[in-house]
Chain A
Protein backbone atom coordinates (compact mmCIF):
# COMPACT_ATOMS: atom_id res chain seq x y z
CA UNK A 1 0.00 0.00 0.00
CA UNK A 2 1.25 3.43 -0.90
CA UNK A 3 2.62 5.51 1.96
CA UNK A 4 0.54 8.55 1.12
CA UNK A 5 -2.56 6.36 1.01
CA UNK A 6 -1.76 4.80 4.38
CA UNK A 7 -1.06 8.16 5.98
CA UNK A 8 -4.24 9.68 4.60
CA UNK A 9 -6.37 6.77 5.81
CA UNK A 10 -4.74 6.99 9.22
CA UNK A 11 -5.41 10.70 9.52
CA UNK A 12 -9.00 10.27 8.36
CA UNK A 13 -9.64 7.52 10.90
CA UNK A 14 -8.27 9.77 13.63
CA UNK A 15 -10.70 12.48 12.55
CA UNK A 16 -13.74 10.23 12.83
CA UNK A 17 -15.53 10.40 16.23
CA UNK A 18 -15.61 7.00 17.94
CA UNK A 19 -19.42 6.85 17.94
CA UNK A 20 -19.49 7.16 14.15
CA UNK A 21 -16.60 4.82 13.44
CA UNK A 22 -18.60 1.66 12.79
CA UNK A 23 -21.20 3.39 10.61
CA UNK A 24 -18.65 5.12 8.45
CA UNK A 25 -16.54 2.00 8.01
CA UNK A 26 -19.61 -0.01 7.08
CA UNK A 27 -20.73 2.64 4.58
CA UNK A 28 -17.24 2.68 3.11
CA UNK A 29 -17.70 -1.02 2.49
CA UNK A 30 -14.01 -1.69 1.91
CA UNK A 31 -13.26 -3.81 4.98
CA UNK A 32 -15.44 -6.87 5.30
CA UNK A 33 -17.76 -7.65 8.19
CA UNK A 34 -15.49 -10.45 9.39
CA UNK A 35 -12.44 -8.20 9.28
CA UNK A 36 -14.16 -5.52 11.31
CA UNK A 37 -15.17 -8.04 13.93
CA UNK A 38 -11.52 -8.77 14.66
CA UNK A 39 -10.90 -5.18 15.72
CA UNK A 40 -11.32 -3.85 19.23
CA UNK A 41 -13.15 -0.57 18.89
CA UNK A 42 -12.79 0.39 22.50
CA UNK A 43 -9.04 0.92 22.51
CA UNK A 44 -7.29 4.22 22.14
CA UNK A 45 -7.81 5.82 18.76
CA UNK A 46 -4.16 5.65 17.79
CA UNK A 47 -4.07 1.90 18.33
CA UNK A 48 -7.43 1.47 16.62
CA UNK A 49 -6.12 3.36 13.61
CA UNK A 50 -3.07 1.09 13.53
CA UNK A 51 -5.23 -2.04 13.59
CA UNK A 52 -7.48 -0.78 10.85
CA UNK A 53 -4.48 0.23 8.76
CA UNK A 54 -3.12 -3.28 8.96
CA UNK A 55 -6.42 -4.60 7.64
CA UNK A 56 -6.37 -2.06 4.81
CA UNK A 57 -2.83 -3.17 4.03
CA UNK A 58 -4.02 -6.75 3.78
CA UNK A 59 -6.61 -5.70 1.28
CA UNK A 60 -4.22 -3.44 -0.62
CA UNK A 61 -6.13 -0.19 -0.40
CA UNK A 62 -5.62 2.05 -3.40
CA UNK A 63 -5.89 5.78 -3.91
CA UNK A 64 -9.47 5.31 -5.07
CA UNK A 65 -10.42 3.40 -1.91
CA UNK A 66 -8.87 6.15 0.19
CA UNK A 67 -10.74 8.80 -1.82
CA UNK A 68 -13.98 6.92 -1.28
CA UNK A 69 -13.41 6.97 2.49
CA UNK A 70 -12.87 10.70 2.27
CA UNK A 71 -16.16 11.12 0.39
CA UNK A 72 -18.06 9.05 2.97
CA UNK A 73 -16.53 11.09 5.77
CA UNK A 74 -17.42 14.37 4.07
CA UNK A 75 -20.96 13.20 3.38
CA UNK A 76 -21.45 12.63 7.09
CA UNK A 77 -19.65 15.88 8.04
CA UNK A 78 -20.86 18.06 5.21
CA UNK A 79 -21.41 21.03 7.50
CA UNK A 80 -17.64 21.31 7.96
CA UNK A 81 -17.35 22.67 4.42
CA UNK A 82 -18.64 25.91 3.00
CA UNK A 83 -20.73 25.11 -0.08
CA UNK A 84 -21.14 27.27 -3.19
CA UNK A 85 -23.84 26.94 -5.80
CA UNK A 86 -23.35 27.02 -9.56
CA UNK A 87 -26.15 27.36 -12.04
CA UNK A 88 -25.79 25.96 -15.54
CA UNK A 89 -27.88 26.74 -18.57
CA UNK A 90 -28.53 25.29 -21.96
CA UNK A 91 -29.80 26.74 -25.20
CA UNK A 92 -33.54 27.34 -25.35
CA UNK A 93 -34.63 24.53 -27.64
CA UNK A 94 -32.35 21.74 -26.70
CA UNK A 95 -33.17 18.11 -27.21
CA UNK A 96 -34.49 16.11 -24.33
CA UNK A 97 -31.80 15.53 -21.75
CA UNK A 98 -30.91 11.84 -21.86
CA UNK A 99 -28.48 11.93 -18.99
CA UNK A 100 -26.24 8.90 -18.75
CA UNK A 101 -24.44 8.83 -15.41
CA UNK A 102 -21.62 6.61 -16.67
CA UNK A 103 -21.08 8.86 -19.65
CA UNK A 104 -21.02 11.90 -17.38
CA UNK A 105 -18.38 10.37 -15.14
CA UNK A 106 -16.18 9.31 -18.06
CA UNK A 107 -16.50 12.71 -19.68
CA UNK A 108 -15.82 14.66 -16.48
CA UNK A 109 -12.73 12.65 -15.65
CA UNK A 110 -11.41 12.87 -19.19
CA UNK A 111 -11.68 16.65 -19.31
CA UNK A 112 -9.80 17.06 -16.06
CA UNK A 113 -7.13 14.51 -16.88
CA UNK A 114 -6.54 16.01 -20.30
CA UNK A 115 -5.89 19.42 -18.80
CA UNK A 116 -4.00 18.37 -15.69
CA UNK A 117 -1.92 15.26 -15.84
CA UNK A 118 -1.98 14.82 -12.09
CA UNK A 119 -5.48 14.75 -10.73
CA UNK A 120 -7.44 12.21 -8.70
CA UNK A 121 -11.12 12.01 -9.59
CA UNK A 122 -13.49 9.80 -7.61
CA UNK A 123 -17.24 9.31 -7.71
CA UNK A 124 -19.83 8.01 -5.31
CA UNK A 125 -23.49 7.65 -6.27
CA UNK A 126 -25.96 9.14 -3.84
CA UNK A 127 -29.71 9.09 -3.43
CA UNK A 128 -32.10 10.95 -5.71
CA UNK A 129 -29.91 10.23 -8.74
CA UNK A 130 -27.12 12.49 -7.53
CA UNK A 131 -23.38 11.94 -7.57
CA UNK A 132 -20.65 13.11 -5.18
CA UNK A 133 -17.39 13.89 -6.90
CA UNK A 134 -14.02 14.34 -5.22
CA UNK A 135 -11.17 16.00 -7.07
CA UNK A 136 -7.63 16.16 -5.67
CA UNK A 137 -5.54 18.66 -7.64
CA UNK A 138 -1.95 18.33 -8.70
CA UNK A 139 0.10 20.17 -11.28
CA UNK A 140 2.11 19.12 -14.28
CA UNK A 141 5.01 18.36 -11.99
CA UNK A 142 3.58 17.49 -8.60
CA UNK A 143 1.28 14.77 -7.40
CA UNK A 144 -2.25 15.61 -6.34
CA UNK A 145 -2.62 17.15 -2.92
CA UNK A 146 -5.02 14.75 -1.24
CA UNK A 147 -5.52 17.01 1.76
CA UNK A 148 -7.16 19.88 -0.14
CA UNK A 149 -9.69 18.24 -2.43
CA UNK A 150 -12.76 19.86 -3.91
CA UNK A 151 -16.11 18.13 -3.53
CA UNK A 152 -18.91 18.52 -6.05
CA UNK A 153 -22.48 17.34 -5.66
CA UNK A 154 -24.52 17.14 -8.85
CA UNK A 155 -28.14 16.06 -9.28
CA UNK A 156 -28.70 14.60 -12.73
CA UNK A 157 -30.83 16.53 -15.16
CA UNK A 158 -30.84 19.66 -13.02
CA UNK A 159 -28.97 22.89 -13.74
CA UNK A 160 -27.39 23.08 -10.27
CA UNK A 161 -24.06 21.89 -8.91
CA UNK A 162 -22.83 22.39 -5.35
CA UNK A 163 -19.10 22.67 -4.70
CA UNK A 164 -17.08 22.95 -1.54
CA UNK A 165 -14.95 26.06 -1.31
CA UNK A 166 -11.54 25.41 -2.68
CA UNK A 167 -8.35 27.06 -1.44
CA UNK A 168 -6.94 26.70 -4.92
CA UNK A 169 -8.69 29.42 -6.88
CA UNK A 170 -6.90 28.55 -10.05
CA UNK A 171 -8.67 25.22 -10.31
CA UNK A 172 -12.11 26.75 -10.44
CA UNK A 173 -12.29 27.53 -14.19
CA UNK A 174 -11.28 23.98 -15.07
CA UNK A 175 -13.82 22.54 -12.67
CA UNK A 176 -16.56 24.72 -14.13
CA UNK A 177 -15.62 23.68 -17.63
CA UNK A 178 -15.62 19.99 -16.79
CA UNK A 179 -19.01 20.24 -15.12
CA UNK A 180 -20.62 22.16 -17.95
CA UNK A 181 -19.37 19.98 -20.75
CA UNK A 182 -19.91 16.65 -19.02
CA UNK A 183 -23.51 17.52 -18.12
CA UNK A 184 -24.13 18.86 -21.63
CA UNK A 185 -24.81 22.45 -20.65
CA UNK A 186 -23.50 25.58 -22.31
CA UNK A 187 -22.90 28.09 -19.59
CA UNK A 188 -22.19 28.11 -15.90
CA UNK A 189 -22.54 30.93 -13.42
CA UNK A 190 -21.73 31.07 -9.75
CA UNK A 191 -24.72 32.09 -7.65
CA UNK A 192 -24.45 34.54 -4.78
CA UNK A 193 -25.47 31.85 -2.36
CA UNK A 194 -23.21 30.19 0.18
CA UNK A 195 -23.79 28.16 3.30
CA UNK A 196 -22.46 25.29 5.35
CA UNK A 197 -25.82 23.62 5.15
CA UNK A 198 -25.84 21.76 1.87
CA UNK A 199 -29.40 20.51 2.38
CA UNK A 200 -30.69 24.05 2.89
CA UNK A 201 -28.96 25.22 -0.28
CA UNK A 202 -30.63 22.40 -2.14
CA UNK A 203 -33.99 23.29 -0.62
CA UNK A 204 -33.56 26.90 -1.76
CA UNK A 205 -32.51 26.30 -5.35
CA UNK A 206 -34.84 23.38 -5.93
CA UNK A 207 -37.59 25.48 -4.35
CA UNK A 208 -38.43 22.71 -1.91
CA UNK A 209 -38.63 24.80 1.24
CA UNK A 210 -42.32 25.64 1.07
CA UNK A 211 -44.26 22.42 0.91
CA UNK A 212 -47.50 23.59 2.50
CA UNK A 213 -50.38 23.39 0.08
CA UNK A 214 -54.12 23.85 0.60
CA UNK A 215 -56.24 20.95 -0.51
CA UNK A 216 -59.50 19.25 0.34
CA UNK A 217 -57.96 16.20 1.92
CA UNK A 218 -58.12 16.23 5.68
CA UNK A 219 -54.91 17.66 7.05
CA UNK A 220 -54.16 18.37 10.65
CA UNK A 221 -55.80 21.73 11.26
CA UNK A 222 -53.47 24.71 11.24
CA UNK A 223 -52.94 25.50 14.86
CA UNK A 224 -54.66 28.65 15.92
CA UNK A 225 -51.71 30.94 15.61
CA UNK A 226 -51.25 31.51 19.27
CA UNK A 227 -49.45 34.69 20.07
CA UNK A 228 -47.97 32.87 22.99
CA UNK A 229 -50.40 34.87 25.00
CA UNK A 230 -53.18 32.36 25.50
CA UNK A 231 -51.52 29.46 27.17
CA UNK A 232 -51.18 29.53 30.90
CA UNK A 233 -52.20 33.13 30.89
CA UNK A 234 -53.24 34.72 34.05
CA UNK A 235 -56.53 36.45 33.45
CA UNK A 236 -55.42 39.36 35.55
CA UNK A 237 -52.91 40.29 32.86
CA UNK A 238 -54.30 42.48 30.11
CA UNK A 239 -52.44 42.93 26.86
CA UNK A 240 -52.88 46.42 25.56
CA UNK A 241 -51.49 45.92 22.08
CA UNK A 242 -53.21 42.75 20.86
CA UNK A 243 -54.25 44.39 17.58
CA UNK A 244 -50.71 45.44 16.81
CA UNK A 245 -49.35 42.04 17.82
CA UNK A 246 -51.84 40.36 15.51
CA UNK A 247 -50.87 42.66 12.65
CA UNK A 248 -47.22 41.85 13.17
CA UNK A 249 -48.00 38.13 13.25
CA UNK A 250 -49.96 38.39 10.01
CA UNK A 251 -47.31 40.40 8.20
CA UNK A 252 -44.57 38.01 9.35
CA UNK A 253 -46.58 35.04 8.21
CA UNK A 254 -47.06 36.62 4.78
CA UNK A 255 -43.37 37.28 4.41
CA UNK A 256 -41.97 34.04 5.81
CA UNK A 257 -44.79 31.53 5.49
CA UNK A 258 -45.64 28.76 7.92
CA UNK A 259 -42.92 26.37 6.89
CA UNK A 260 -39.52 25.77 8.52
CA UNK A 261 -36.94 28.13 7.06
CA UNK A 262 -33.87 26.83 5.25
CA UNK A 263 -30.77 27.16 7.40
CA UNK A 264 -28.25 29.83 6.44
CA UNK A 265 -25.53 31.31 8.59
CA UNK A 266 -25.10 34.78 7.14
CA UNK A 267 -26.32 37.41 4.75
CA UNK A 268 -23.92 39.99 3.42
CA UNK A 269 -24.81 43.36 1.94
CA UNK A 270 -22.18 45.34 0.12
CA UNK A 271 -23.32 48.94 -0.08
CA UNK A 272 -21.98 51.15 -2.80
CA UNK A 273 -24.29 54.05 -2.28
CA UNK A 274 -23.69 57.69 -1.61
CA UNK A 275 -23.69 58.70 1.99
CA UNK A 276 -26.95 60.38 2.95
CA UNK A 277 -27.02 62.57 6.00
CA UNK A 278 -29.61 64.80 7.63
CA UNK A 279 -26.98 67.17 8.90
CA UNK A 280 -26.06 69.47 6.06
CA UNK A 281 -22.36 69.75 6.59
CA UNK A 282 -20.80 66.47 7.37
CA UNK A 283 -17.38 65.35 6.22
CA UNK A 284 -18.92 62.30 4.68
CA UNK A 285 -21.83 64.01 2.96
CA UNK A 286 -21.71 65.78 -0.40
CA UNK A 287 -19.17 63.45 -1.86
CA UNK A 288 -19.36 62.09 -5.35
CA UNK A 289 -17.84 58.76 -4.58
CA UNK A 290 -20.08 56.12 -3.07
CA UNK A 291 -19.57 55.35 0.58
CA UNK A 292 -18.46 51.76 0.69
CA UNK A 293 -19.84 49.75 3.51
CA UNK A 294 -20.27 46.05 4.25
CA UNK A 295 -23.06 44.80 6.46
CA UNK A 296 -23.05 41.20 7.53
CA UNK A 297 -25.78 39.44 9.49
CA UNK A 298 -24.66 36.23 11.21
CA UNK A 299 -26.66 33.65 13.04
CA UNK A 300 -26.73 29.89 13.54
CA UNK A 301 -30.09 30.03 11.77
CA UNK A 302 -30.38 33.37 10.05
CA UNK A 303 -33.82 33.12 8.51
CA UNK A 304 -35.52 31.93 11.68
CA UNK A 305 -33.82 34.77 13.51
CA UNK A 306 -35.08 37.31 10.97
CA UNK A 307 -38.55 35.80 11.20
CA UNK A 308 -38.62 36.33 14.95
CA UNK A 309 -37.37 39.95 14.86
CA UNK A 310 -40.74 41.61 14.43
CA UNK A 311 -42.73 39.40 16.84
CA UNK A 312 -40.01 39.95 19.45
CA UNK A 313 -40.42 43.70 19.06
CA UNK A 314 -36.86 44.30 17.92
CA UNK A 315 -37.73 45.44 14.42
CA UNK A 316 -40.71 46.98 12.72
CA UNK A 317 -42.93 44.83 10.60
CA UNK A 318 -42.85 44.48 7.61
CA UNK A 319 -39.15 43.78 7.39
CA UNK A 320 -37.15 45.17 4.52
CA UNK A 321 -37.59 43.10 1.35
CA UNK A 322 -33.81 42.89 1.20
CA UNK A 323 -34.05 40.55 4.18
CA UNK A 324 -37.16 38.62 3.25
CA UNK A 325 -36.22 37.92 -0.34
CA UNK A 326 -33.27 35.67 0.52
CA UNK A 327 -34.84 32.24 -0.13
CA UNK A 328 -37.04 33.33 -3.03
CA UNK A 329 -34.18 35.04 -4.86
CA UNK A 330 -31.69 32.37 -3.85
CA UNK A 331 -29.12 34.94 -2.75
CA UNK A 332 -27.41 35.79 0.48
CA UNK A 333 -24.75 38.06 -0.97
CA UNK A 334 -26.07 41.40 -2.18
CA UNK A 335 -24.51 44.41 -3.88
CA UNK A 336 -26.56 47.52 -3.48
CA UNK A 337 -25.91 50.51 -5.65
CA UNK A 338 -27.63 53.81 -6.12
CA UNK A 339 -30.29 53.64 -8.80
Chain B
Protein backbone atom coordinates (compact mmCIF):
# COMPACT_ATOMS: atom_id res chain seq x y z
CA UNK B 1 0.00 0.00 0.00
CA UNK B 2 1.22 3.29 -0.85
CA UNK B 3 2.03 5.47 2.13
CA UNK B 4 -0.58 8.06 2.86
CA UNK B 5 1.65 10.98 1.94
CA UNK B 6 2.03 9.63 -1.64
CA UNK B 7 -1.71 9.64 -1.94
CA UNK B 8 -1.69 13.08 -0.70
CA UNK B 9 1.00 13.73 -3.24
CA UNK B 10 -1.10 12.25 -6.09
CA UNK B 11 -4.35 13.27 -4.44
CA UNK B 12 -5.89 14.78 -7.57
CA UNK B 13 -5.28 11.67 -9.84
CA UNK B 14 -7.25 9.03 -7.89
CA UNK B 15 -8.57 10.66 -4.86
CA UNK B 16 -6.71 8.52 -2.41
CA UNK B 17 -7.81 5.38 -0.54
CA UNK B 18 -10.99 6.69 0.87
CA UNK B 19 -12.10 7.90 -2.53
CA UNK B 20 -11.21 4.46 -3.91
CA UNK B 21 -13.30 2.78 -1.32
CA UNK B 22 -16.14 5.21 -2.02
CA UNK B 23 -15.90 4.43 -5.67
CA UNK B 24 -16.05 0.66 -4.95
CA UNK B 25 -19.06 1.20 -2.74
CA UNK B 26 -20.94 3.09 -5.42
CA UNK B 27 -20.01 0.39 -7.93
CA UNK B 28 -21.45 -2.22 -5.62
CA UNK B 29 -24.63 -0.32 -5.03
CA UNK B 30 -25.05 -0.02 -8.75
CA UNK B 31 -24.64 -3.70 -9.33
CA UNK B 32 -27.13 -4.38 -6.53
CA UNK B 33 -29.76 -2.26 -8.16
CA UNK B 34 -28.84 -3.95 -11.42
CA UNK B 35 -29.47 -7.34 -9.93
CA UNK B 36 -32.75 -6.14 -8.59
CA UNK B 37 -33.64 -5.28 -12.08
CA UNK B 38 -33.27 -9.05 -13.15
CA UNK B 39 -36.75 -10.52 -13.92
CA UNK B 40 -38.35 -12.16 -10.94
CA UNK B 41 -39.43 -15.08 -13.04
CA UNK B 42 -35.88 -15.98 -13.99
CA UNK B 43 -34.83 -15.97 -10.37
CA UNK B 44 -37.70 -18.05 -9.25
CA UNK B 45 -37.16 -20.45 -12.15
CA UNK B 46 -33.54 -20.89 -11.18
CA UNK B 47 -34.56 -21.25 -7.59
CA UNK B 48 -37.07 -23.93 -8.39
CA UNK B 49 -34.56 -25.69 -10.57
CA UNK B 50 -32.08 -25.52 -7.75
CA UNK B 51 -34.68 -26.84 -5.40
CA UNK B 52 -35.54 -29.59 -7.82
CA UNK B 53 -31.94 -30.59 -8.25
CA UNK B 54 -31.44 -30.61 -4.53
CA UNK B 55 -34.46 -32.84 -4.09
CA UNK B 56 -33.27 -35.21 -6.78
CA UNK B 57 -29.87 -35.32 -5.19
CA UNK B 58 -31.33 -36.19 -1.83
CA UNK B 59 -33.53 -38.83 -3.37
CA UNK B 60 -30.61 -40.44 -5.18
CA UNK B 61 -28.55 -40.32 -2.03
CA UNK B 62 -31.30 -42.06 -0.11
CA UNK B 63 -31.69 -44.68 -2.82
CA UNK B 64 -27.98 -45.38 -2.86
CA UNK B 65 -27.99 -45.75 0.87
CA UNK B 66 -30.96 -48.12 0.69
CA UNK B 67 -29.35 -50.26 -1.98
CA UNK B 68 -26.14 -50.48 -0.04
CA UNK B 69 -27.99 -51.51 3.06
CA UNK B 70 -30.04 -54.04 1.10
CA UNK B 71 -26.93 -55.55 -0.41
CA UNK B 72 -25.33 -55.85 2.98
CA UNK B 73 -28.42 -57.48 4.41
CA UNK B 74 -28.90 -59.82 1.49
CA UNK B 75 -25.26 -60.82 1.70
CA UNK B 76 -25.97 -61.98 5.19
CA UNK B 77 -29.18 -63.76 4.17
CA UNK B 78 -27.44 -65.61 1.36
CA UNK B 79 -24.77 -66.82 3.75
CA UNK B 80 -27.33 -67.92 6.29
CA UNK B 81 -29.94 -69.54 4.06
CA UNK B 82 -27.34 -71.42 2.03
CA UNK B 83 -26.59 -73.58 5.01
CA UNK B 84 -30.21 -73.87 6.03
CA UNK B 85 -31.39 -74.76 2.54
CA UNK B 86 -28.77 -77.50 2.24
CA UNK B 87 -29.77 -78.95 5.56
CA UNK B 88 -33.41 -78.83 4.67
CA UNK B 89 -32.70 -80.52 1.33
CA UNK B 90 -30.66 -83.20 3.05
CA UNK B 91 -33.48 -83.82 5.51
CA UNK B 92 -36.02 -84.10 2.69
CA UNK B 93 -33.85 -86.54 0.77
CA UNK B 94 -33.32 -88.69 3.84
CA UNK B 95 -37.07 -88.74 4.46
CA UNK B 96 -37.70 -89.71 0.82
CA UNK B 97 -35.19 -92.54 1.06
CA UNK B 98 -36.87 -93.76 4.22
CA UNK B 99 -40.29 -93.45 2.62
CA UNK B 100 -39.17 -95.67 -0.25
CA UNK B 101 -39.54 -98.41 2.32
CA UNK B 102 -43.29 -98.10 1.77
CA UNK B 103 -43.07 -98.90 -1.92
CA UNK B 104 -42.18 -102.44 -0.93
CA UNK B 105 -38.76 -102.54 -2.55
CA UNK B 106 -35.91 -100.24 -1.63
CA UNK B 107 -32.19 -100.51 -1.43
CA UNK B 108 -29.07 -98.96 -0.05
CA UNK B 109 -25.63 -99.14 -1.55
CA UNK B 110 -23.07 -100.91 0.57
CA UNK B 111 -19.32 -101.17 0.30
CA UNK B 112 -19.55 -104.37 -1.71
CA UNK B 113 -22.89 -104.07 -3.45
CA UNK B 114 -26.41 -103.29 -2.40
CA UNK B 115 -28.67 -104.21 0.47
CA UNK B 116 -32.22 -104.61 -0.77
CA UNK B 117 -35.13 -104.30 1.61
CA UNK B 118 -38.42 -105.98 0.75
CA UNK B 119 -41.40 -104.79 2.75
CA UNK B 120 -44.47 -106.94 2.49
CA UNK B 121 -48.04 -105.81 2.79
CA UNK B 122 -51.51 -107.26 2.55
CA UNK B 123 -54.77 -105.36 2.22
CA UNK B 124 -53.10 -102.10 3.05
CA UNK B 125 -51.42 -103.43 6.18
CA UNK B 126 -47.66 -103.15 6.31
CA UNK B 127 -46.24 -106.51 7.40
CA UNK B 128 -42.75 -107.94 7.86
CA UNK B 129 -39.66 -106.68 6.09
CA UNK B 130 -36.93 -108.87 4.69
CA UNK B 131 -33.42 -108.04 3.53
CA UNK B 132 -31.10 -109.41 0.88
CA UNK B 133 -27.48 -108.26 0.88
CA UNK B 134 -26.07 -108.67 -2.62
CA UNK B 135 -22.42 -108.55 -3.59
CA UNK B 136 -22.01 -106.99 -6.99
CA UNK B 137 -19.38 -109.09 -8.69
CA UNK B 138 -19.39 -111.45 -11.63
CA UNK B 139 -21.15 -113.70 -10.72
CA UNK B 140 -23.56 -111.94 -8.39
CA UNK B 141 -23.92 -113.63 -5.05
CA UNK B 142 -25.92 -113.20 -1.89
CA UNK B 143 -23.82 -112.29 1.12
CA UNK B 144 -26.48 -112.82 3.72
CA UNK B 145 -30.23 -112.39 4.02
CA UNK B 146 -33.17 -112.58 6.37
CA UNK B 147 -35.43 -114.64 4.12
CA UNK B 148 -37.02 -117.59 5.98
CA UNK B 149 -35.54 -120.92 5.07
CA UNK B 150 -38.79 -122.35 3.68
CA UNK B 151 -39.06 -119.71 0.96
CA UNK B 152 -37.41 -121.24 -2.14
CA UNK B 153 -34.71 -118.57 -2.39
CA UNK B 154 -32.08 -120.89 -3.92
CA UNK B 155 -34.51 -121.96 -6.62
CA UNK B 156 -35.42 -118.41 -7.52
CA UNK B 157 -31.76 -117.33 -7.43
CA UNK B 158 -30.71 -120.26 -9.61
CA UNK B 159 -33.30 -119.29 -12.17
CA UNK B 160 -32.95 -115.53 -12.34
CA UNK B 161 -30.15 -114.00 -10.27
CA UNK B 162 -27.42 -114.14 -12.90
CA UNK B 163 -29.56 -113.47 -15.94
CA UNK B 164 -32.21 -110.99 -14.95
CA UNK B 165 -31.92 -109.39 -11.55
CA UNK B 166 -35.20 -107.52 -11.95
CA UNK B 167 -37.02 -110.77 -12.40
CA UNK B 168 -35.20 -112.21 -9.42
CA UNK B 169 -36.34 -109.33 -7.25
CA UNK B 170 -39.87 -109.45 -8.58
CA UNK B 171 -40.21 -113.18 -8.07
CA UNK B 172 -38.81 -112.95 -4.56
CA UNK B 173 -41.17 -110.07 -3.74
CA UNK B 174 -44.08 -112.11 -5.07
CA UNK B 175 -43.25 -115.08 -2.90
CA UNK B 176 -42.64 -113.01 0.22
CA UNK B 177 -45.75 -110.87 -0.17
CA UNK B 178 -47.89 -113.93 -0.77
CA UNK B 179 -46.41 -115.70 2.26
CA UNK B 180 -46.98 -112.62 4.42
CA UNK B 181 -50.55 -112.38 3.16
CA UNK B 182 -51.33 -116.01 3.90
CA UNK B 183 -49.71 -115.75 7.31
CA UNK B 184 -51.72 -112.61 8.03
CA UNK B 185 -54.99 -114.36 7.15
CA UNK B 186 -54.15 -117.36 9.31
CA UNK B 187 -53.07 -115.15 12.23
CA UNK B 188 -56.27 -113.10 11.97
CA UNK B 189 -58.40 -116.24 11.93
CA UNK B 190 -56.64 -117.54 15.02
CA UNK B 191 -56.86 -114.30 16.95
CA UNK B 192 -60.12 -112.63 15.89
CA UNK B 193 -62.46 -115.54 15.26
CA UNK B 194 -61.75 -117.97 18.10
CA UNK B 195 -65.47 -118.09 18.79
CA UNK B 196 -66.04 -119.83 15.48
CA UNK B 197 -63.17 -122.32 15.69
CA UNK B 198 -63.90 -125.52 17.54
CA UNK B 199 -60.32 -126.75 17.52
CA UNK B 200 -56.80 -125.48 16.93
CA UNK B 201 -55.88 -124.13 13.52
CA UNK B 202 -53.41 -126.49 11.85
CA UNK B 203 -50.90 -124.78 9.64
CA UNK B 204 -47.39 -125.19 8.31
CA UNK B 205 -44.41 -122.90 7.88
CA UNK B 206 -45.44 -121.58 4.48
CA UNK B 207 -49.08 -121.27 5.59
CA UNK B 208 -50.01 -123.10 2.40
CA UNK B 209 -52.02 -125.82 4.07
CA UNK B 210 -54.64 -124.86 6.63
CA UNK B 211 -56.99 -127.22 8.34
CA UNK B 212 -59.62 -126.34 10.93
CA UNK B 213 -63.11 -127.12 12.19
CA UNK B 214 -65.64 -124.38 12.74
CA UNK B 215 -69.26 -123.60 13.28
CA UNK B 216 -71.19 -120.77 11.72
CA UNK B 217 -73.30 -119.72 14.65
CA UNK B 218 -73.59 -120.68 18.27
CA UNK B 219 -77.09 -122.13 18.22
CA UNK B 220 -76.73 -124.92 15.72
CA UNK B 221 -74.62 -127.96 16.26
CA UNK B 222 -73.56 -127.86 12.65
CA UNK B 223 -69.81 -128.31 12.44
CA UNK B 224 -67.77 -127.91 9.32
CA UNK B 225 -64.21 -128.95 8.69
CA UNK B 226 -62.26 -127.05 6.10
CA UNK B 227 -59.01 -127.85 4.38
CA UNK B 228 -57.38 -125.12 2.33
CA UNK B 229 -54.49 -125.81 -0.05
CA UNK B 230 -52.46 -123.01 -1.56
CA UNK B 231 -50.46 -124.70 -4.29
CA UNK B 232 -49.46 -121.42 -5.84
CA UNK B 233 -46.81 -119.99 -3.56
CA UNK B 234 -47.30 -116.59 -5.14
CA UNK B 235 -50.99 -116.46 -4.31
CA UNK B 236 -52.93 -115.41 -1.23
CA UNK B 237 -56.11 -117.29 -2.13
CA UNK B 238 -56.35 -121.08 -1.93
CA UNK B 239 -56.20 -123.21 -5.04
CA UNK B 240 -58.24 -125.97 -3.48
CA UNK B 241 -60.87 -125.89 -0.75
CA UNK B 242 -62.66 -128.87 0.75
CA UNK B 243 -65.42 -128.25 3.26
CA UNK B 244 -67.05 -131.20 4.93
CA UNK B 245 -70.08 -131.28 7.11
CA UNK B 246 -69.48 -132.83 10.49
CA UNK B 247 -72.43 -131.66 12.48
CA UNK B 248 -74.50 -133.62 14.97
CA UNK B 249 -77.65 -132.72 13.10
CA UNK B 250 -78.51 -134.69 10.05
CA UNK B 251 -77.27 -133.23 6.81
CA UNK B 252 -80.18 -131.29 5.47
CA UNK B 253 -80.54 -129.50 2.21
CA UNK B 254 -79.88 -126.14 3.77
CA UNK B 255 -76.66 -127.34 5.38
CA UNK B 256 -75.55 -128.70 2.04
CA UNK B 257 -76.22 -125.30 0.56
CA UNK B 258 -74.16 -123.73 3.33
CA UNK B 259 -71.35 -126.16 2.71
CA UNK B 260 -71.17 -125.34 -0.97
CA UNK B 261 -71.45 -121.66 -0.26
CA UNK B 262 -68.58 -121.83 2.22
CA UNK B 263 -66.44 -123.63 -0.30
CA UNK B 264 -67.03 -120.93 -2.84
CA UNK B 265 -66.48 -118.14 -0.36
CA UNK B 266 -63.22 -119.60 0.89
CA UNK B 267 -61.98 -119.94 -2.67
CA UNK B 268 -62.74 -116.39 -3.60
CA UNK B 269 -62.28 -114.28 -0.49
CA UNK B 270 -59.49 -113.92 2.07
CA UNK B 271 -59.99 -116.20 5.03
CA UNK B 272 -60.62 -113.61 7.72
CA UNK B 273 -63.10 -111.78 5.52
CA UNK B 274 -65.10 -114.96 5.09
CA UNK B 275 -65.37 -115.32 8.86
CA UNK B 276 -66.14 -111.64 9.22
CA UNK B 277 -69.07 -112.19 6.89
CA UNK B 278 -70.21 -115.09 9.06
CA UNK B 279 -70.41 -112.83 12.07
CA UNK B 280 -72.11 -110.17 9.98
CA UNK B 281 -74.78 -111.39 7.67
CA UNK B 282 -75.69 -115.02 7.87
CA UNK B 283 -77.75 -114.90 4.73
CA UNK B 284 -74.81 -113.88 2.63
CA UNK B 285 -74.03 -117.54 1.94
CA UNK B 286 -77.38 -118.51 0.54
CA UNK B 287 -77.50 -115.53 -1.76
CA UNK B 288 -74.20 -116.53 -3.29
CA UNK B 289 -75.34 -120.04 -4.09
CA UNK B 290 -78.60 -119.06 -5.72
Contact = CB atoms under 8 A, between A and B. Distances in A.
Interface of A: 95-102, 128-129, 155-158, 160, 205-208, 210-211, 213-218
A215 B229 contact: no
Contacts of A100: 202, 204, 209, 211
A102 B199 CA distance: 14
Contact of B149 (A101, A207, A211, A216): A207
Nearest to B101: A217
Given A213-B131, A214-B110, A216-B94, A101 B202 contact: yes
B203 interface: yes
B206 A157 contact: yes
Interface of B: 94, 97-98, 100-101, 106, 108, 110, 115, 117, 131, 133, 144-146, 148-150, 202-206, 208-209, 211, 229, 231-233
Given A207-B145, A216-B108, A96 B98 contact: no
Max chain A CB contacts within 10 Å: which of B98, B117, B148, B209?
A: B209
A96 B233 contact: yes
A205 B106 CA distance: 27
12 contacts: A95-B231, A96-B231, A98-B204, A128-B205, A206-B148, A207-B145, A211-B146, A213-B146, A214-B133, A215-B106, A216-B98, A216-B101
Contacts of B204: 98-101, 129, 156-157
A129 B182 CA distance: 14
A157 B106 contact: no
A160 B148 CA distance: 13
Nearest to A95: B231
B110 to A, nearest CB: 5
Contacts of A213: 115, 117, 131, 133, 146
A102 B211 contact: yes
Contacts of A102: 202, 211
B108 A155 contact: no
Q: Which 7 A-B pairs have the closest CB atoms?
A: A213-B131, A216-B97, A157-B150, A99-B204, A157-B205, A129-B205, A156-B204
Max chain A CB contacts within 10 Å: which of B98, B146, B205?
A: B205
B287 to A, nearest CB: 32
Contacts of B110: 214
Contacts of B101: 215-217
Contacts of A160: 149
A180 to B, nearest CB: 17
A95 B211 CA distance: 20
